[in-house]
Copies of this chain bind each other. A is one copy, B any other.
Amino acid sequence: MPKVVDPEERRQEIAEAVFRVARRDGLELASLRNVAEEAGLAIGSVRHYFAGQADIMNFAMNLFALRAGKRLLARAAGLRVPGPDAPPAAHVATLEAMFAEVLPIDAERREEAEVWLAFTTSARTRSELAPLALEMHDDLRRVIGRVLTGAAGVGVLRPGLDPDEEAGRTHALIDGMTLHAILQPDRLGPSGLAAMLRRHVCAITTVRAEELPPLPE
């Protein structure tokens, strides 16, 4: 055998090359050749780890969904949720932080969102990617639903609003904000995202902006 190499690790390196090409040039240019060059490998080497181009795409999107899901769950677990008798502002601040986690406010999350958009839009015409796109969609929706249901449970959701219905609206808003931030960053930058999120959070809760911690920047 040649050099000792963890095959799984190599596959992930190649998938990361896919992410870079997709962000820079678009997913349609993530050809075997371009990906191999981006990864610094020969085309034959890449093919040693994947059955074909479709296999690379499936693996890459699976890896992406896995990482994004893990990161979201880890962050959700990391956020210490206030006790039931904490002031409303504390609950809403946690809720806001959770939503901020999936918005492209910093470079890392922006890169992630760019890859997400590339995959999720191309899944419309590449049916083999559709199940994963739907799964990511439902996962995010579920997280948002849980957060809002929790908010309703401690009474910080604005009266008259249904947690489930508001989850749908907030989900659409978050993805719309992400879309704008990625496609028209001149019109919606990180600070704009934060401000808009705060406005939305105040609109659906009983807490006013002054009660929340000041926006960074």
Residues of chain A at the chain B interface (Cβ within 8 Å): 24-26, 28-29, 114, 117-118, 120-126, 133-134, 137-138, 141, 161, 165-166, 168-169, 171-177, 179-180, 182-184, 186-188, 192, 195-196, 199-200, 203-204
Contacts and interface: CB of A to CB of B under 8 A. Distances in A.
Nearest to A185: B124
A52 to B, nearest CB: 18
Provide the main secondary structure of the chain A interface: helix
Contacts of A168: 188, 192, 196
Nearest to A165: B199
A141 B176 CA distance: 13
Given A121-B121, A124-B26, A199-B165, A172 B180 contact: yes
B137 A183 contact: yes
A169 B200 contact: yes
21 contacts: A24-B125, A26-B28, A26-B122, A120-B183, A121-B183, A124-B182, A137-B184, A137-B187, A161-B203, A165-B195, A165-B196, A168-B192, A168-B196, A169-B173, A169-B200, A171-B176, A172-B176, A172-B196, A176-B176, A176-B179, A179-B179
